[in-house]
């Protein structure tokens, strides 16, 4: 059963993960469109992950880590 409202620490972690995705994407010199194409998602989805308005699934996190050539742990630590 989901918590409503979500605890503040969860929102903080979501933002941190989004920031790490954005940083890794920029380090790889990819646009949101390019990353989306690499993982089979729309650029709007990438944007939502980066601003923490949507939560990436584990599968998407694995695909993002692979597309950006970074360890998954670097995105979610």
Residue ranges of domains in the chain = 8-76
Q: Taking the CB of residue 10, how many other CB atoms lie within 10 A of it?
A: 12
Measured CA to CA, the distance from residue 77 to residue 33 in angstroms comes to: 25
Instruction: Report, as an integer, the average pLDDT of 14-19.
Output: 96
3 pLDDT more than 90: no
Instruction: Report, as an integer, the average pLDDT of 29-35.
Output: 98
32 band by pLDDT with thresholds 50, 70 and 90: very high
**Prediction pTM value:** 0.91
12 pLDDT more than 60: yes
- pLDDT (0 to 100) of residue 4: 74
Give the 3-state secondary structure of residue 57: coil
Q: Does domain 8-76 have CATH number 3.10.310.30?
A: no
- pLDDT (0 to 100) of residue 2: 64
């Amino acid at each position: 059963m989901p918590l409503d409202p979500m605890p503040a620490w969860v929102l903080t972690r979501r933002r941190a993960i989004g920031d790490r995705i954005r940083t890794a994407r920029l380090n790889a010199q990819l646009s949101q469109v390019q990353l989306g194409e690499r993982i089979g998602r729309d650029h709007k989805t990438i944007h939502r992950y980066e601003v923490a308005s949507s939560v990436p699934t584990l599968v998407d996190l694995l695909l993002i880590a692979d597309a950006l050539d970074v360890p998954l742990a670097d995105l979610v630590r």
